[in-house]
Structure 1
């Protein structure tokens, strides 16, 4: 995700995230993909054992391991989300908050499998207003895009994406954003757009879906979370900043 000089009147990346978070965090108490079932999302968060891939993939993801990504793909995703939303003085980065886990769960679940997408032909290049036009599920798109970028990085940098320096990773991400890299299997803009969308979703979504660890993104923007009712707070906080420890969906169960 490209950043611009604030002196030119544009907002920086972190400012953008804070502005987005204020407007979108309420919607992000549910994943924006919107198609993962309760069984696919709630059970892992409350301690139901999940299936692991390799031990290496498990070490990437923490205690639960990855369900969809293999070890190479998980390394790519962790490096990508860390590049899109790095840690800085304002707040934690996407990797720290478990955004890669969020994306993995989405790809392994109904959304990634295209449960709510029309995937019959004919397929053709549509206008932006016509929405998604590919004969691939979101998980197929992400997997193919990762493979395409990995080949590009290996050819041009003799390295894996997660093996690049932070500066080189940022340069590759910027080139994807600017459509300066032509991917052979998937449209660059579509792949990068989905990767960015999922990263932002995972950063601000309710923690029960795998990202926003310890509700840190909500704390950063001052979002109170998924409170059931705020009527009793109106008078005490009238014309005053409302400060409260954010609560997720599971805190209300």
Structure 2
């Protein structure tokens, strides 16, 4: 999970995280949630406050509304958890401003959330660290279970909703999931946390066409050019060229 800026001497800084994640972002986008979203008619989404207020973006105005979550309190848990995993700081916007909660919500409503392309029949045995998804639950059920547990533990420990806790309190609860210290039915808390974290990162760096990476701000932080039609006029240049990022939206107008 993301660390606070006050303890960068002991933990990975946000800036280093952004730099290092460039090595895996391509694999996440190519082989993760995006595969389950191809063919979906999704607009660019961004989170306001777990509500459905629209916002004007550089490449058009798009409706903001959850497709999967119908309980605002549970959606608020998702919003708060993703923001702690990828927080806003002086480096740039966090998961919330980049629309990651809506990216995850739309993914859960589609084939990725329903494990449509995966074998989901038993028997189910505890998997090793070298095996993939082993839960009998579909991903949307994993999120239902995990987010409800975050809310439950928050109420038990602090008598408050997860979204209303201080950042340090949210981190403490999320860390207990990451360390597999929470009992969940049908899935381990570590598995839930890992899926949540991966989905958050994908929502930050995915093409805005899939509901995250609002205004391509995730790409801009990395200097990633996005989807360019061609580099023919640039590839022979001996000088470094800064290229403005381009989204798939530009090819659908």
TM range (shorter): 0.7 to 0.9
Is residue 59 from structure 1 mapped to residue 58 from structure 2 by the alignment? no
Matches within 5 A, 1:147-166: 147-166=148-167
Q: Is the 8 A contact 2:137 2:186 kept in 1?
A: no
SS, match of residue 44 in structure 1: coil
Aligned residue pairs total 238
Matches within 5 A, 1:11-50: 11-20=12-21, 22-27=22-27, 32-33=32-33, 34-38=35-39, 40=40, 43-45=41-43
Q: Is the 8 A contact 2:36 2:111 kept in 1?
A: yes
Please give the alpha-carbon distance, in whole angstroms, between the structure 1 residues aligned to 2:148 and 2:54: 20
- Counterpart residue number, 2:59: none
- Counterpart residue number, 2:248: 249
- Counterpart residue number, 1:107: 108
SS, match of residue 200 in structure 2: helix
Is residue 190 from structure 1 mapped to residue 188 from structure 2 by the alignment? no
- Counterpart residue number, 1:144: 145
- Counterpart residue number, 1:68: 68
Q: Deviations over 1:95-149 (max 9, x none)?
A: 0011000000100001101101211010110112221111111111111111122
SS, match of residue 103 in structure 2: helix
Q: Is the 8 A contact 1:226 1:246 kept in 2?
A: yes
Please give the alpha-carbon distance, in whole angstroms, between the structure 2 residues aligned to 1:170 and 1:201: 20
- Structure-2 change in CA distance of 1:60 and 1:17 (3 Å): farther
Q: Is the 8 A contact 2:102 2:212 kept in 1?
A: yes
Please give the alpha-carbon distance, in whole angstroms, between the structure 2 residues aligned to 1:227 and 1:6: 36
Please give the alpha-carbon distance, in whole angstroms, between the structure 2 residues aligned to 1:185 and 1:29: 27
**1:150 offset after TM fit, Å?**
1.4
Q: Is the 8 A contact 1:57 1:74 kept in 2?
A: yes
Point out the structure with the larger helix share: 1
TM-score, reference length from structure 1: 0.85
TM-score, reference length from structure 2: 0.85
Q: Is the 8 A contact 2:44 2:211 kept in 1?
A: no
- Structure-2 change in CA distance of 1:76 and 1:7 (3 Å): closer
Is residue 86 from structure 1 mapped to residue 87 from structure 2 by the alignment? yes
- Structure-2 change in CA distance of 1:2 and 1:24 (3 Å): closer
Greater Cα shift, 188-197 or 121-130: 121-130
Q: Is the 8 A contact 1:205 1:211 kept in 2?
A: yes
Gaps of 5+ in 1: 48-55
Root-mean-square deviation (Å): 2.5
